[in-house]
Structure 1
Amino acid sequence: MRLAVLGAGAIGPAAAVLAASRGHAVVLWSPSGAGTAGIEGGVTAEGAVEGWFALRVAWDLADALAGADAALLAVPAYAYPALLPRIAEVLRLPLLITPAASLAPLALDAMLPGRGRPPIGAMSTTPVTARRLAPDRVRVAAIRAAVDMAAVPARAAMEMGALATALFGHASPAGPNVLQAGLGNANPIIHAVLALTNTTRIECAEAWPQYAMMTPAACRLMEAMAAERDVLATSFGMAVLGLEESLHRANGVPLGRLQDMAAAIAVSRGAVLGPAAMDTRYVTEDVPYGLAFYLWLAAARGVAMPVTEAVVTSLEALWGRDLRTNPLLHALDPARLDAALEHGIGRD
């Protein structure tokens, strides 16, 4: 297929080389242009994907989508409020959003014009984990074994899962709707706790191994937050992936206690370093578009999440900034969420 990858940080190029390694033709677009600067015809991958892969760089969004069979949106969630309206103006083909934080597929659906809208796939997490080593070099740390898939409208989940599997190779278990994908990503919980319990290391720009810092105490806090998230999901009649299963899928370590799995990842993958700057996405993305999103849902549903509330409040105090503003939610009515999850917003 011809795939347009929208986003050129680390995940976008890594997903692009994975798709290219499977025989697909890929064009890469950077919203700012900075992410594709220095790419001359292709990208070299190392790690779980090895080799040089041809990638065409698109001049603009319309150029990226022209002639494509499908598109993948892989940008930080905080980029969605500015970028989704631009995509809505030109989107005429199936789009996968990875990860589908904060009901981003529904927010985009509300922006799409007219009739005959394409399906929007909601991936619970990214198809790969990766780091950008140079403008034309990326390290693919791991390829997911499975990524839960939902869609707008909900009935398109199998179709969009088949598309994702064809592009990236992972299994795509179908979920009931995009809310499950939005709640199923483990990153907001794991990353927020790691940021909270290692704030001084981050502020002092220390090199610290994040999986080794998933100590029993940190894991207890993660588990308490995951239990609250489970109650929230149950209020919508669904179950979400546990933290242990998420780590298993991403890293291939045997299922067990969370702290034991983290220790096994630390041994198998070496010193995967945590963030070393206060502008880390672990806080600026995963709190407003993850934990604060949970609290927005919980308030509308009458579900108490005191531990999650305390973590968000503590991080706001430590970071000295508002971490609850989430523009994606402005166009969504929590009282009408059930119907929107099933059919989309304003679709035929």
Structure 2
Amino acid sequence: MKVGIAGAGAIAMGYAALLLSRGHEAGIWSPSGNRTVDLLDGKSLKATGAIEGEFHPAVCQSASELADADVIVLALPAYGQRFVIDALVPHLQNRHTVVISGHLSFASLYLAGRLAERGLQLPVIAWNTTALTCKSQSFTEIRIGALRKIVSIAVVPTRMADQGLEICIALFGERFALQNDLVTITLSNLNPQSHLAIALCNLTRFERAEVWGQRENMTPTVGRFIEALDQERLSLAAALGKTVGSVFDHYRNSFGLSGQSVAGLSAQQVERGADVAGPKTIDSRYVLEDVPFGLVPLLRLAEMAGIDLPLHRSGVAILSACYGRDFMSENDLLLKSHLEAVRELS
């Protein structure tokens, strides 16, 4: 199958390596063009870790060229997704399938709405997280930490759910669990809450560009913060009548680990040699993506459900003050109509 990947960061490159290793075609579109210059010059993509080898993904230089593929995967931060969606929509056809990897802020509803303007309806697949973990050593060198065992997905429109599931399995393997609605997918993404705790507890490390191990510094105090944030997320899910996994389920499903505390589970990862470098800039997606596009939608859902998430709400306010920005107003994907649609789903 021919797959076009919008984005050229670590996850996008990891997907290219995974798809090519499974016998598919893969092309990458970097909207800025900066991260694919070396690939255009003929350099190979070198992968180590869970996938080993050298790969030669194609380079797409426009949205129209990306749309030559059968399946398009959005693998870029949520703050860049509206631009990419708007660029892609004129070139999409009924033959296409679109995957949004690491679905945030009901981006699938934004895309579906843009498609409806053209009278189109095609499978838009929302993943609650990425299919793998990956870090870049350079623009052409990546280390793939793990292939996730379970990724929850939902498909818009729901009548195309089975078709969407089959495509995901054919491309990325038997690792997908089909859910019946986008609210469950949104509530199943643990990255925003985890990254909130990591950012608040390590922000000066970000700012001073320190070299530090993220999991090594997942101390009991940080771990308890994540566990408390997780309880708020689970309470929101219960208020909306949804069943989602806990942070401990995440460690079991993604990494095959079991334990009684986030700190202890992180220590197990360090013992395995699976620590990852923490952010070295305050321009990290842990804040610029996950706060406005991950946490703010949860707060909107909580308002709709009539409950409070004090740790989430305070975290957004504190980081807004630290950055001198209003993160509550920076989301350009979440529309009022989306929340109305979500109310019906709930």
TM-score band, normalised by shorter chain: over 0.9
Q: Secondary structure at the match of 1:176?
A: coil
Aligned match for 2:124, one of 109, 120, 127: 120
C-alpha distance in 2 between matches for 1:257 and 1:83:
39
| Aligned partner letter, 2:24 | H
Q: Secondary structure at the match of 2:76?
A: coil
C-alpha distance in 1 between matches for 2:11 and 2:221:
30
C-alpha distance in 2 between matches for 1:163 and 1:256:
36
Deviation at 1:81, TM superposition (A): 2.5
Residue 60 of structure 2 aligns with which residue? 58
Percent pairwise identity = 34
1:307-329 CA distance string (max 9 Å, x none): 11111111122222222221111
C-alpha distance in 1 between matches for 2:22 and 2:318:
44
Q: 1:132 to 1:314 in 2, by over 3 A?
A: same
Residue 329 of structure 1 aligns with which residue? 334
Q: Secondary structure at the match of 1:198?
A: helix
8 A Cα contact 2:200 2:319, kept in partner: yes
Within a 5 Å distance, the mapping from 1:83-122 to structure 2 comes to 83-92=84-93, 93-112=96-115, 113-122=117-126
Q: Secondary structure at the match of 2:337?
A: coil
1:174-208 CA distance string (max 9 Å, x none): 11112221221111011110110111222222222
Residue 192 of structure 1 aligns with which residue? 196
Residue 27 of structure 2 aligns with which residue? 27
Deviation at 1:143, TM superposition (A): 1.0
Deviation at 1:170, TM superposition (A): 4.2
Q: Secondary structure at the match of 1:210?
A: coil
Deviation at 1:218, TM superposition (A): 1.4
8 A Cα contact 1:207 1:273, kept in partner: yes
Residue 82 of structure 2 aligns with which residue? 81
8 A Cα contact 1:100 1:178, kept in partner: no
Deviation at 1:117, TM superposition (A): 1.3
Cα RMSD, aligned residues only = 1.8
1:112-137 CA distance string (max 9 Å, x none): 13334111000011111112222322
C-alpha distance in 1 between matches for 2:198 and 2:119:
44
| Aligned partner letter, 2:107 | A
Within a 5 Å distance, the mapping from 1:303-342 to structure 2 comes to 303-324=307-328, 325-330=330-335, 332-339=337-344, 341=345
Deviation at 1:281, TM superposition (A): 0.8
C-alpha distance in 1 between matches for 2:135 and 2:337:
33
| Aligned partner letter, 2:327 | L
Aligned match for 2:276, one of 249, 272, 281: 272
8 A Cα contact 2:226 2:262, kept in partner: no
Aligned match for 1:230, one of 234, 258, 265: 234
8 A Cα contact 2:122 2:157, kept in partner: no
Deviation at 1:255, TM superposition (A): 4.4
Deviation at 1:3, TM superposition (A): 1.0
State TM-score, norm by structure 2. 0.93
C-alpha distance in 2 between matches for 1:108 and 1:208:
38
Aligned match for 1:43, one of 25, 42, 45: 45
8 A Cα contact 1:162 1:172, kept in partner: no
Aligned match for 2:145, one of 122, 141, 147: 141
Q: Secondary structure at the match of 2:304?
A: helix
C-alpha distance in 2 between matches for 1:159 and 1:305:
36
8 A Cα contact 1:127 1:170, kept in partner: no
C-alpha distance in 1 between matches for 2:140 and 2:29:
14
8 A Cα contact 2:3 2:72, kept in partner: yes
| Aligned partner letter, 1:184 | S
Q: 1:84 to 1:331 in 2, by over 3 A?
A: farther
Deviation at 1:99, TM superposition (A): 0.7
